[in-house]
Structure 1
């Protein structure tokens, strides 16, 4: 065996290699909560603008990583909702999952969708969350259609939903894109009230 072949064999047999995706992927859960109004609104948060934080200023859905004590992702989503915004589980009617979405840093987010009455005071830690956003669904649909996202799967770099003084991007934009396409498939997209 020549030197290159030996080196090649040693690399394959003796050096560590990436684990299968199941071991590298971190599970998370978020809440996709709409108000049951005639003109539904989506509950979102804008993360605090810490200079060293990769996702600083990002618009996201409330949620977080699955803890070992969490019996399931629904529990994770509800626990995070209470921790981040002070919304207790009795104020939310979870309907089911909108599926799983991967982030660029190997987090697999399960999106739990439900209704929130949109009432009661919200509380959040300003060191983690700059603001809570109440986004009219019809505004997201208008942006979806105007950007030409309908009927196609835009690249991560293109997929953006501008909302007043913020922009929704990344996994949150991918989730919204999926939901907008689902709404369009029903033939009943949201409209302003």
Structure 2
């Protein structure tokens, strides 16, 4: 009889060890046209968790309202994989340093979640990491309007989520939202958070 491996006491590692449902912008919009495979661009976002057990918080940003793509939206630090990046994990860490001033050596990578395909043609790898030492948040000029944190317990509770819809490209598009105070977290960010919440709920 094969011995069972002991379960980890880290809830984030335990979450990644559980099977999860596929995540994409098409979960609630099966009739939407998907981008051609050759046009999909790889990207990485960092789900940066900081704080003691039971009081962890997740770092998020409000994008500048002047940006061409997704102006004013709530997002994880992250972006597309550049030629100099060694994959989506490196891209997520680089973007976190540029967007919120989070040093790469302050982050312990816990693991990654399955890729999330967006309607804008990105294949996003969510990278889960723990911030192991304090840092001074610094917003990237012109890119980030605000840096803030949300309790992990809020994002990890499936009951906090709801589905809303709006017209987009002549059709109704449905999406998840998980509001927190004045912040309206929706779209791909909320869907990735919901995927994590599903895994953190045994």
**TM-score normalised by L of structure 1:** 0.75
Task: Confirm or deny that 1:115 pairs with 2:130.
Answer: yes
| C-alpha RMSD of matched pairs (Å) | 2.1
Partners of 2:152 and 2:133 lie apart in 1 by 14
Contact 2:114 2:126 in 1 (8 A): yes
Q: Which one has a bigger Cα radius of gyration?
A: 1
Task: Confirm or deny that 1:67 pairs with 2:74.
Answer: no
Q: 1:135 aligns to what?
A: 150
Q: 2:60 aligns to what?
A: 44
**Structure 1 or 2: larger helix share?**
1
| 1:1-193 alignment runs, 5 A limit | 21-38=36-53, 39-50=55-66, 53-117=68-132, 119-142=134-157, 144-147=158-161, 157-185=174-202
Report the CA distance shift for 1:26/1:148 in structure 2 as closer, same or farther (over 3 A). Answer: closer
Count matched residues: 159
Contact 1:156 1:170 in 2 (8 A): no
Which runs of no fewer than 5 residues in structure 1 stay unpaired?
A: 1-19, 150-154, 186-193
Residue 156 of structure 1: CA displacement? 6.0
Contact 2:63 2:145 in 1 (8 A): yes
Partner of 1:28: helix, strand, or coil? strand
